[in-house]
Amino acid sequence: MIAYYGRLALLSLKKNVLLTGLMIAAIGLGIGAAMTTITVNYLMSADPIPNKSERLFAVQVDNWSPNEAYDEPNLPPDQVTWLEATQLTEAKMAYRQAGMGTSYGVIEPKGQDQKPYLASVRITYADFFPMFEPPFLYGSGWTAQADEARELVIVLSKEANNEIFGGANSVGETVTFSGNVFRVVGVLDEWEPKPKFFDLATGAFNDMEDVYMPYTLKQALELDTSGNNNCWKPIAEETFQAFLNSECVNSQFWVEFEDPDDKHAYLDFLHNYVAEQKQLGRFPREQNNRLHNVMEWLEYQEVVADDAQMMMYMALMFLIVCLLNTIALLLAKFTGRFGEIALRRAVGASRRTLMLHYSVEAAIVGVLGGLVGLILAWLGLQGISALYGDSTEGLTSLDGTMIAVGFALAIVSSILAALYPTWRACSIAPAGQLKTQ
């Protein structure tokens, strides 16, 4: 029967090409705009580490000024100080934990034909690798002993390894970074979690760092601080150590629990830790310690850009206009077919049968509109990535889910659009329409 309806639908669609074309174009444009913007929003708010986002927590403690909160309403800083990054990591009170920050430096050329390479650096602890699970091409992360002993070890991103070693297995090789000789212990494969959830300070969709090295080297080598550094209290002295010991927040601190419920025990620990620090004259504000798991953190940090949301709302309204358009056109179209509908009713089609029949026609329009919409969405995403440049890399690809969502949206919305016109058409009394034509 469906095949019969399909055949009749195609016949009817072919009969009025202009009207059919308009409907398909309207749905296609609406779906295209909606899918383009929904995809960007969807990718922006995607879970970057689905297998353990429930167990990874960003830690906040409030070391800010007694006179004003870091941000209203009484929010603690988004980052932590060097003191917390090191002391909380070394306390080892969670299953895994890693303080981290960013730096930069120049990797010196190995041969005559190479150029010096300005590298961005993530300084962190050994647990970083098992916590965030970056894929390794060669070797592995460093050990906790390396952290403690402040060994000059380095993990290269795939890109850095390509730049310096031409992509070869460089584990065991050395690189000279800002005058110090480091031993390569691991090389990562492609790794671009979006959003870059563990460090949102300078942008949620920034590139990953070029190289990774122990956080403990920051003090040992007096590494420069890059990224976001925020202070409320003047730094006491003109020494690097005074900067480290200051109340400036410039590092991130994450913990992993085996069970998300362990957060309660960890909050108790933080409470005690802050109480101890208060004894030392730090933390002038009330206790205000917070743990957010990955998705909570992305929500709290409002990772989905306002612009992206605004665009999505505009596009969704645009889709509604397109659907209103389709409803009106279908209504006009079905109104022109009252005679046929009455005849079909007379010869034995029930209302339900006819509803089904005309829904098939609407669904065909929906599928075609969906197809056009997905093509437009693909083009739209190319456009977005061209307009926004690198900052949207990885945020403009249609995956299987979004293609399915696009089709579902197209078919559901065209059937919804067809609902009223079909109902109107099928509820006409057959008697009145048959007598005069």
Partner 1 sequence: MLKMTSVRKTFRTDTIETHALRNFDLQVEEGDFVAVTGPSGSGKTTFLNVAGLLETFDEGDYQLDGKSVQGMNDRQLAQLRNEKIGFIFQSFNLLPDLNLFDNVDVPLRYRGFNSAERKQRIEQALETVGLANRMGHYPAQLSGGQQQRVAIARALAGSPRFLLADEPTGNLDSNMASGVLDLLSEINAQGTTIIMVTHDPSLAQRAQRNIFVRDGQVTEVQTGTNIQELLQQTAQV
Partner 2 sequence: MNQIGPIFRALLRNKVGALLLALQIALTMTIIVNAIHMIENRSSMMARESGMDEANQFHLMYVGYKDSFNERVAVETDLLEIRKLNGVVDATQINSTPLSGGGWSMGLTTTPNSQDGTPVSLYFVDDHGLNTLGVELVAGENFSPTEVTYRLSNDKQWPQNILLTEAAAKNLFPDLTPAEIIGQTVFIRDDEPMTIKGIIDHLQAPWVQWSNVNNVMLVPQRGLWNANRYLVRTEPGERDRLMREVEELLLAKRDGRLIRNVTAMDEQRDDAYQDFFALQTVLWVIVTVLTLVTALGIVGMVSFTVNQRRKQIGTRRALGATKGDIMRQFMLENLLITSSGLIIGVASSIALNIWLVDTFSLPRIGWHYLPIAMVVLVIVGQLAVLGPARKAANLSPALATRTT
Rule CB under 8 A: which residues touch partner 1?
1, 4, 11-12, 15, 339-340, 342-353, 429-431, 434-437
Supply the minimum distance, in Å, between the C-beta of residue 430 and partner 1: 5
What is the H or E stretch that residue 243 is in? helix 240-244
Residue from 421, 426, 401 nearest 38 by CA: 401
Tokens of 435: 């007598």
Nearer to partner 2, 280 or 387 (CB): 387
Q: Where are the beta strands (DSSP E) in 264-403?
A: 290-293
Supply the minimum distance, in Å, between the C-beta of residue 12 and partner 1: 7
Q: What angle do CA 42, 292, 37 make, to 5 degrees?
A: 10
Nearer to partner 1, 158 or 345 (CB): 345
Supply the minimum distance, in Å, between the C-beta of residue 11 and partner 1: 5
Tokens of 54: 């429930």
Supply the minimum distance, in Å, between the C-beta of residue 165 and partner 2: 19
- With tokens 């494969």, the residue in question is 189
Asked if residues 146 and 214 have their Cβ atoms less than 8 Å apart, the reply is: yes
267 binds, among partner 1, partner 2, none (CB under 5 to 8 A by kind): none
Nearer to partner 1, 1 or 280 (CB): 1
Nearer to partner 1, 18 or 429 (CB): 429
Nearer to partner 2, 252 or 325 (CB): 325
Nearer to partner 2, 83 or 322 (CB): 322
Nearer to partner 1, 172 or 432 (CB): 432
Q: Using the Cα atoms of residue 393, residue 394, residue 399 and residue 401 in order, give the sign of their dihedral.
A: negative
Task: Say how far apart CA 184 and CA 161 lie, in whole Å.
Answer: 10
Asked if residues 255 and 57 have their Cβ atoms less than 8 Å apart, the reply is: yes
Supply the minimum distance, in Å, between the C-beta of residue 352 and partner 2: 21
What is the number of alpha carbons within 13 Å of residue 29 lying toward its C-beta? 14
Nearer to partner 2, 300 or 388 (CB): 388
Task: Say how far apart CA 22 and CA 13 lie, in whole Å.
Answer: 11
Supply the minimum distance, in Å, between the C-beta of residue 423 and partner 1: 13
235 binds, among partner 1, partner 2, none (CB under 5 to 8 A by kind): partner 2
349 binds, among partner 2, partner 1, none (CB under 5 to 8 A by kind): partner 1
33 binds, among partner 2, partner 1, none (CB under 5 to 8 A by kind): partner 2
169 binds, among partner 1, partner 2, none (CB under 5 to 8 A by kind): none
Bridge pairing between strands 56-60 and 180-188: unpaired
Classify residue 135 as exposed, middle or buried by CB count within 10 Å of its CB (0-12, 13-18, 19+). Answer: exposed
Interaction site with partner 2 (CB under 8 A): 18-19, 22, 25-26, 29-30, 33, 67-68, 104-106, 108, 115-116, 118, 178-179, 224, 234-235, 237-240, 242-243, 306-307, 309-311, 314-315, 317-318, 320-322, 324-325, 327-329, 331-333, 335-336, 383-384, 387-389, 391, 420, 424, 428-429, 431-433, 435, 437
92 binds, among partner 2, partner 1, none (CB under 5 to 8 A by kind): none
Supply the minimum distance, in Å, between the C-beta of residue 16 and partner 1: 11
Buried b (16+ CB within 10 A) or exposed e, 140-164: ebbeeebbeeebbbbbbbbbbbebb
17 CB neighbour count, 10 Å cutoff: 9
192 CB contacts (<8 Å, ≥6 apart)? 207, 208, 393, 394
Bridge pairing between strands 180-188 and 174-177: antiparallel
325 binds, among partner 2, partner 1, none (CB under 5 to 8 A by kind): partner 2
350 binds, among partner 1, partner 2, none (CB under 5 to 8 A by kind): partner 1
